[in-house]
Amino acid sequence: MATALKNLSEYDPAKVPAAKNMRFAIVVSEWNSGITFSLLEGAYNTLIKHGADPDHIRVNYVPGSFELTAGATALAETKSYDAVICIGCVIQGETPHFDYICQGITYGLTQLNIEYKIPFVFCILTTNTLQQAKDRSGGKHGNKGDEAAVTAIKMVALKQNI
C-alpha cells in the first residue's frame, strides 16, 4: 500500500508477538542523521513497547547508508542477535549516485537475509525530497522505524515458531 494511504506507525499491537526474549541489533547511518536518528528512536521505542529488554538491543553507527551492509554483516557474525534492523536515508540528488546506492543496499541486505538466515530489516528511506523523508520519520506518515521494529519482531517470532 502506498505510504500516502497509510500511517507507518499505525498497526494492531495485539498482532505483534512479545519481544521479551529476543535480541536485536540496529545499525544506523549517520548520513542524514536528522532523519535516521528519528527512525532509530521509533524502532527502539517500539521494541521496548513490545517487551524487548534494553540490554538486548545493541545500536551501532556507520558513516552512510552504503555501509549498512558491512555494519550489519559485522553484527551478524557475532551470532548474538535474532534480527538486525538497518536504518538509513538516501535522498534523490542530481546524479545517478542515488540509484547506485539504493541498488547496492537492497542487493546487499537481500544477500545477508539469505546467507545468515536471520532477518535483516530494510528501514532505508529512498525519497525524492528531504520533506518526504521527514514525513516518514515521525511526520505526517508516521515513523518507518516503528514499522521496522514490528517487522523484526514478527520475523523473529516466525523463525522461532517454525
Q: What number is the average pLDDT over the span 98-111?
A: 94
Q: Which residue has the higher pLDDT, 89 or 94?
A: 89
Torsion, Cα 81 25 44 4, to 10 degrees, reads -110
Which residue in the list 50, 56, 97, 141 is annotated as catalytic?
97
**What does the pLDDT read at residue 18?**
95
pLDDT above 90 covers a percentage of the chain that reads 86
At 36 the pLDDT is 98
Determine whether 50 is an active site residue.
no
Q: What does the mean pLDDT of the chain come to?
A: 94
23-161 fold: Rossmann fold (3.40.50)
Q: Which residue has the higher pLDDT, 14 or 147?
A: 147
Q: What is the pLDDT of residue 12?
A: 86
The reported pTM is: 0.94
* Residue 136 grid cell: 516518514
> How far, CA to CA in Å, does 72 sit from each of 20, 24, 30, 68, 123?
22, 11, 14, 6, 12
Give me the mean pLDDT over the 30-38 stretch: 97
Q: Where are the domains of the chain?
A: 23-161
- pLDDT (average), residues 105-130: 96
